Structure 1
Amino acid sequence: MHKKNIIVYGGCVSRDILNFDTVDEPCIKLLNYYARSSLATLGSNNAAKNISKKHYDSLLNIESKFQRRMVESDFKNQILESAGKGDYDLLLIDFLVDRFHLAEIDGKLVTRSVEFVRSGIKPNRLINTFSDQYLTLWREGIDNLLSVIDARADLDKVKINKVYWSDIATDEQDTIKLNEKWDIEKNNAKLDAMYEYVEKILPSSSIIEVDKSLLIADSNHKWGLSPFHYTDDYYRKMLEIIKA
């Protein structure tokens, strides 16, 4: 049976789906996983800029090789090259990484992820993730990514994981914690604006969405309590859709 080759550009909400592909004959092969990298950094003008060696050297301050690689990939906007190759069956994208602010270094915007902060690099300025400027940059970024895919690969291979932050957890006390710690409504309103934009560009078949009743935060999730760490039912349903 042919395995479906997949690239994930987003976060654990999309990557963890593949962990449920555990049958004797796995149906999915993960080619690349690009995490902690905001679409707002992918505009053609920004992607053309380079970052000095001293900042790459600072990435050695990040202990985890995987996390170091994620930040380096973000610096180089590697998803553009990878997506343009077209050697995949599906490119699964989610927008949850776009909760991070942007940082400017050497005149280039990068994602101010937790891992970036660990590098110790001091940015020249920040762009707030809820600002109008951020959303403008985000539109430029997804426009450029999709144009690269359209020119070199196949837009039919793109699937958007349309998902929202959950305000309900499996444990009642954790539901209270969720809503106290995170501004869920504000983040979901921002996601709505992003989905509205991309749904005007891509056909409905490119948008993957499960019933919102499956968006329940798992109090015992391996990555901890979070509005976007869901119960197993969510991942199983998404896997079913992807495999179809």
Structure 2
Amino acid sequence: MPGDHSDRFPVDVAIYGSCVSRDMCEFWPEAQVKAYVARQSAIVRFGPVGASRFPTDALTSKFQARMYSDDKRGNAGNTIIRAGAGMLILDIVDERRGVWRFPDAKFLTNSVEAFRAGVDVWAPRMGARLIEFGTDEHFYLWRTAIEHLLGHARAHRKKSPFVTVFIDVDWAEATEGQPLPRGIKSALGAANRQVGRQFDRFVKSMQLGKPLDLVAEEVFERIPSPVEEIAKEARRMNVLSRRYAEVLAARSDFVVRRTVDELRMDPEHKWGLNAYHYSADNYRSIVESMREIVARRPSTDGATPRT
């Protein structure tokens, strides 16, 4: 757990992003989270579907139900304004799943919550189509939407301006304590682990009494490990997200950047193993950068210096 920093002044923050920013704040005792907007693409601002339009029965978590309802309202901008926080923390991880566009030009984020509510079944039946993250269509919609959202928030906070901080972190491609999968040593290690997985498959298949020819076919089929599968997706997302990151970096007062070389997945993370569930050391490193920003930001004249 983070150390005691009770001697530091509290910092009121609002988050428009994902668990990346929210989990970081758990290592930042001074941070007082006044608002947390997640699972909501900036694009829904163009035309929210409406809070009562689609079912929420499948969502048993109050937090998930609230995020889903908030997305249907498209209330990110107003939530940020009402929070009145002196710092707005941004990240783009929750844009990764894209958005649904309905025939009436309304939008719904393709969030995990929407998926649990059956969006992949009932949205296409209603004539909706998925606009995937990384496509030109998604990027240009998102760029216009995020510029409008930030402009709207700043216009309504002229008398109490806030500082924007973009948490620009790559998706991790290796677990804590492991090197990035590069070079001959990494290849040999991966090969050894592959042999182990194939042997385990052989034993299980024989125990199940499968025909020998089928067992041989299964055994010699390469089996990617969960980490390898996550790393592959992380590499893809790190490429797709760069132009989004460049847009948000240019429109933020401060940017906290961490590259794939620095970041590691935590296998024991409370939300499970994933490329954006980082090690405690990674979160602590980001927090130190946040403290530097707090120390540098002006407290009286409302100016917002850029790094």
User: What TM-score range do you get, normalising by the shorter chain?
Assistant: 0.7 to 0.9
How do 1:34-53 residues align onto structure 2 when only pairs under 5 Å count? Answer: 34-42=37-45, 46-47=46-47, 49-51=48-50, 53=52
How far, CA to CA, are the matches of 1:134 and 1:120 in structure 2? Answer: 22
How far does residue 130 in structure 1 lie from its aligned partner after superposition? Answer: 2.6
CA RMSD of aligned residues (A): 2.4
- Residue identity in the other structure for 1:118: R
Residue identity over aligned pairs, in percent, reads 26
Q: Aligned AA for 1:243?
A: R
Match for residue 275 of structure 2 among 207, 227, 234: 227
Partner of 2:250: 200
* Aligned equivalents of 2:133, 2:242: Cα separation in 1: 14
2:264 matches 1:216: yes
**How many aligned residue pairs are there?**
232
Cα deviation for residue 39 of structure 1 reads 2.3
Is 1:4 aligned to residue 11 of structure 2? yes
| Cα drift, residue 33 of structure 1 | 1.1
**Mapped partners of 1:13, 1:151: distance in 2:** 27
What letter is aligned with 1:180?
E
Query: 2:15, 2:22 within 8 Å by CA — same for their partners in 1?
Result: yes
**Cα distance between partner residues in 2 of 1:51 and 1:10:** 21
Q: Which has the larger radius of gyration?
A: 2
| One-letter code aligned to 1:232 | A
Aligned pair in 2 of structure 1 residues 66, 81: CA closer, same or farther (>3 Å)? same
Measured against aligned partners, the alpha-carbon deviations of 1:109-161 in whole angstroms (never above 9, x if no partner) come to 11111111112342122112232111111101111111112211266511110
Kindly indicate whether the alpha-carbon contact (under 8 Å) linking 1:38 and 1:100 is maintained by their aligned counterparts in 2: no
TM-score (norm 2): 0.68
Q: After TM superposition, give the deviation of residue 241 of structure 1 in Å.
A: 2.1
- In structure 1, the partner of 2:130 is 126
1:87 aligns with 2:84: yes
Deviations 1:17-41 (A, max 9, x none): 11123xxxx4121111111112232
Q: Is the 8 A contact 2:42 2:142 kept in 1?
A: yes
TM-score (norm 1): 0.85
Work out which structure has the larger RCO, using CA pairs closer than 8 Å and 6 or more positions apart in sequence: 1
Confirm or deny: 8 A CA contact 1:41 1:138 kept in the other structure. no
User: Match of 1:74?
Assistant: 71
Shift of residue 50, structure 1, vs aligned partner:
4.5
Aligned pair partner of 1:183 in 208, 225, 233? 233
- Alpha-carbon spacing, 1:211–1:104, altered in 2? closer, same or farther (3 Å): closer
Q: Distance in 2 between matches of 1:152 and 1:98?
A: 25
Q: Distance in 2 between matches of 1:156 and 1:87?
A: 8
How far apart, in 2, do the equivalents of 1:128 and 1:34 lie? 21
Structure 1 CA distance, aligned partners of 2:74 and 2:169? 24
Q: 3-state SS of the aligned residue for 1:208?
A: strand
Question: Is the 8 Å Cα contact of residues 27 and 243 (structure 1) preserved in structure 2?
Answer: no
- Where 2:173 maps in the other structure, the secondary structure is coil
Extract unaligned runs of 5+ from structure 2: 1-7, 179-189, 194-223, 293-307
Q: Aligned equivalents of 2:95 and 2:269: distance in 1?
A: 22
Aligned to 1:17: 24
**8 A contact 2:174–2:227 mirrored in 1:** yes
Counterpart Cα distance in 2 of 1:157 and 1:15 = 17
Distance in 2 between the 1:141 and 1:54 partners? 22
Q: Determine the structure 2 residue equivalent to 1:165.
A: 171
Shift of the 150–179 alpha-carbon distance from structure 1 to 2, 3 Å rule, reads: same
Distance 1:73 1:20 in 2: 26
Distance 1:54 1:193, change over 3 A: closer
Alpha-carbon displacement from aligned partner over 1:68-94 (angstroms, at most 9, x marks no partner): 000111111221102234610111110
Structure 1 runs not aligned, ≥5 long: none
Sort the Cα spacing of 1:157 and 1:53 in 2 relative to 1 into closer, same or farther, 3 A.
same
CA contact (8 A) 1:218 1:229 kept: yes
User: Which letter does structure 2 place at the counterpart of 1:29?
Assistant: Q
- TM-superposed deviation, 1:176: 5.2
8 Å contact from structure 1 (residues 40, 98) kept in 2 = no
